[in-house]
Amino acid sequence: MLASAILTGLGLGSMYGLLALGFYVTYSVSSTVNFAQGSSMMLGAVFAYAFSVRFGLPLAAAVAVALALCALYGLLVGAIAVRPFARRGSNAWLMATVALGIVADNVVLFTFGKEPRGFPMVFSGSLQIAGINVSYLQLAIPAVGLSLAAALHVFSRRFIQGKALLAVVQNPDAARLMGINVPRVVAASYAASTLLAGVAGIMIAPLSNVHSDMGTLFGLKAFAVAILGGITSAWGVMLAGLIFGVAEALITAFLGSAYTQILSFTLVIVALAIMPDGLFGRAAVKKV
Partner 1 sequence: MSRVLLAFALFVSLSASAQESVKIGLITALSGQSARAGEAITRGLQVAIDELNAKGGLLGRKFELVRRDDEATPAKGVIAARELLFREKVTVLFGGLDTPVSIAIVPIVNEAKIPFMGPWAAGTPITKNGAKDNYVFRVSAVDEIVDKAMLQYAQRTFNAKNCGMILVNNPWGESNEKGLTAALSAKGLKAAGIEKFEGNDVDVVPQLTRLKAAGADCLFLVGNVGPSAQVVKSLDRMGWKPPVVSHWGPAGGRFTELAGPSAKDVHFIQTYSFFGKQSPVGTKVMKALMAKYPDIKSPGDITPAVGVANAYDAMMLTALAIQAAGKLDGTAIGKHEGLIKSYNKPFTPEVHDAVNENDYVWTQFIDNQIVPVGMKK
Q: How far is CA 129 from CA 4, 9, 132, 206, in A?
A: 10, 16, 5, 21
> With CB under 8 A as the contact rule, which of the stretches 56-64, 158-166, 245-253, 265-273 interacts with partner 1?
245-253
Give the residue, chosen from 59, 180, 253, 267, that forms a contact with partner 1 under the rule CB under 8 A: 253
Interface with partner 1, residue 263, by CB under 8 A: no
Give the residue, chosen from 102, 143, 258, 269, that forms a contact with partner 1 under the rule CB under 8 A: 258
CA 201 to chain centre: 9
| Interface pattern 69-88 for partner 1 (x via CB under 8 A) | --------------------
Dihedral of alpha carbons 68, 69, 71, 72, sign: positive
Rg (CA), the chain: 19
User: 127 has which bridge partners?
Assistant: 134
CB of 104 to partner 1, least distance (A): 17
Q: What three-state secondary structure class fits 34?
A: coil
Give the residue, chosen from 82, 249, 268, 271, that forms a contact with partner 1 under the rule CB under 8 A: 249
**Among 189, 198, 214, residue whose Cα is nearest residue 33:** 189
186/222 with CB nearer partner 1: 222
> How far apart (Å, rounded) are the C-alpha atoms in residues 61 and 44?
13
> How far apart (Å, rounded) are the C-alpha atoms in residues 51 and 65?
8
Binders of partner 1 among residues 177 to 206 (CB under 8 A) are 204
207/272 with CB nearer partner 1: 207
Find all residues with CB under 8 Å of 261, minimum gap 6, and list them.
none
| Interface pattern 12-51 for partner 1 (x via CB under 8 A) | x---------------------------------------
Give the CA-trace dihedral at 44, 20, 262, 8, to 10 degrees. Answer: 70
Give the residue, chosen from 14, 28, 138, 264, that forms a contact with partner 1 under the rule CB under 8 A: 138
Chain positions contacting partner 1, by CB under 8 A: 1, 4-5, 7-8, 11-12, 109, 114-118, 121, 126, 132-133, 135, 138, 204, 207-209, 211, 214, 216-217, 249-250, 252-253, 256-258, 261
